[in-house]
Amino acid sequence: MEAAEPAAAPVPALHLQQLAKRFGQKVAVDGLTLAVPQGSLFGLVGPNGAGKTTTLSMATGLLRPDHGAAAVLGRDVWRDPAAAKAIMGVLPDGVHLFDRLTGAELLRYTGLLRGMPETDVVARASDLLGALGLDGTGGTAVADYSAGMRKKIALACALIHAPSLLVLDEPFESVDPVSGEAIRAILRGFVASGGTVVLSSHVMELVESLCDRVAVVAEGRLLATGTLDEVRAGTSLQHRFVQLVGREALGTETLAWLRSASR
Ligand SMILES: Nc1ncnc2c1ncn2[C@@H]1O[C@H](COP(=O)(O)OP(=O)(O)OP(=O)(O)O)[C@@H](O)[C@H]1O
C-alpha cells in the first residue's frame, strides 16, 4: 500500500513576506513576515509609529511596498489585485468616505461597486445599519455623522460583500461601549462561520479578550507572534507588550516642572 501523502498546510488567510517600506530616511516597515491562519481573530499591536498602519496598508493594496509580497488566501495583492480585493473587506486608518452621500447611499454605492445585486445590497445595508446601531441614520449625510458613526459606517462598507478576510485598522477607536460590544459580536460570529479577522489596536485588554492570535511589532519589525497564550507567556498581554517594547517606567525626574507646584 502506498504511504498517504502528508496533507498540505492550509494556505494562510493573509501572508506577508518580507514587506518593507521606507519614507525618505524613515524605515517604517523593515522586512516583516507574518502568516495569519484561516479562521483566526488576529490582533496586531505595537507602540505609536511601530508601522502597523503602513503594514496593513501594504497588505491590502493601499500602499505599494518597496519590497516583499502580500497574499490573501493565496491571491497576490499586488500581482492580482482584483482577485485579492474581491475576498477582502478593509477598514483603513483615517478613512476618507464620500461624505456628501447619506449612510444608506454610501452602503448602496459600495455594494454596487462590489458587483452585488441591488436587492441584496438594500437588504444587507438595512441589516448592517441595525446591527451597528445606526438605524434611523441611513438618511443622514455621512458628513454629519460623529467620529464613531463614521467608523461604524466604514465598517459596514467593509462587511457588505461578505468577504473572507477582514482587515481592520483600529476598528474600536471612537466607538461607544455598546457599539463596541456589537462589533465584537459581529467579528466573533464572522470568525465562527469560517472568516478571518486581522485588526490593529492599542487596547491590550480588548485584544486579549477578543483575539486568539497576536503579533507585536515595533520599529517596523516583528517582535513576537503566535497564539495569545504563546505571546503573553503566562503574564498579561499589557505586561508582555511593555517587556517586549522595552519602554522604561517614567522616573520621578520626568516633567519635574509639572509637579513643582507654584499653583
Ligand atoms: N506618509 C508618510 N510619510 C512619512 N512618514 C510616514 C508616513 N506614514 C507613516 N510614516 C512614518 O512611518 C512610521 C510608521 O507609521 P505607522 O502609521 O505605520 O505607525 P502605527 O504603528 O500605525 O502608529 P500609530 O499606532 O500611532 O497609529 C512612523 O514613524 C511614521 O511617522
Domains identified in the chain and CATH numbers: 7-87+164-247 (3.40.50.300), 97-162 (no CATH)
- pTM for the model: 0.91
For the CA of 54, the closest atom of ligand 1 is 18
Q: How far apart are CA 166 and CA 183, in angstroms?
A: 13
Please give the Cα distance from 54 to 32 (Å, whole number).
11
192, 40 Cβ separation under 8 angstroms: no
Residue 50 in contact with ligand 1 by CB distance below 6 A: yes
What is the predicted pLDDT for the residue at 249?
A: 59
ipTM: 0.97
Count other C-beta atoms under 10 Å from residue 239's C-beta.
13
Q: Which residues make beta-bridge pairs with 41?
A: 197
Side-chain-side CA neighbours of 14 within 13 Å: the count stands at 35
Write out residues in the chain with pLDDT < 70, as ranges: 1-4, 247-252, 261-263
257 alpha carbon – ligand 1 mean position (Å): 30
Q: What is the pLDDT of residue 53?
A: 96
Which DSSP state fits 30? E
Q: Residue 169 and residue 94: Cα distance in Å, rounded?
A: 9
Evaluate: CB of 48 within 6 angstroms of ligand 1. Answer: yes
Q: What is the pLDDT of residue 1?
A: 55
Instruction: Quote the pLDDT of residue 258.
Output: 79
Residue whose CA is at the smallest distance from ligand 1 atom 2: 23
Q: What is the per-residue pLDDT across 44-75, written as a single tens digit (0 to 9) for each?
A: 999 999 999 999 999 999 999 999 999 999 99
Tell me what pLDDT residue 260 has: 74
Residue 257 in grid coordinates:
516642572
Identity of the amino acid at 198? V
Nearest residue (CA) to ligand 1, atom 4: 23
Torsion of CA 13, 64, 224, 246, to 10 degrees: -150
Beta carbon of 28 within 6 Å of any ligand 1 atom: yes
Rounded to an integer, what distance in angstroms lies between the CA atom of residue 255 and that of residue 151? 35
pLDDT at residue number 92 = 92
How many helical (H) and strand (E) elements, i.e. helices and strands, does the chain have?
10, 10
Give pLDDT, residue 193: 93
Do residues 12 and 77 make contact, with C-beta atoms less than 8 angstroms apart? no
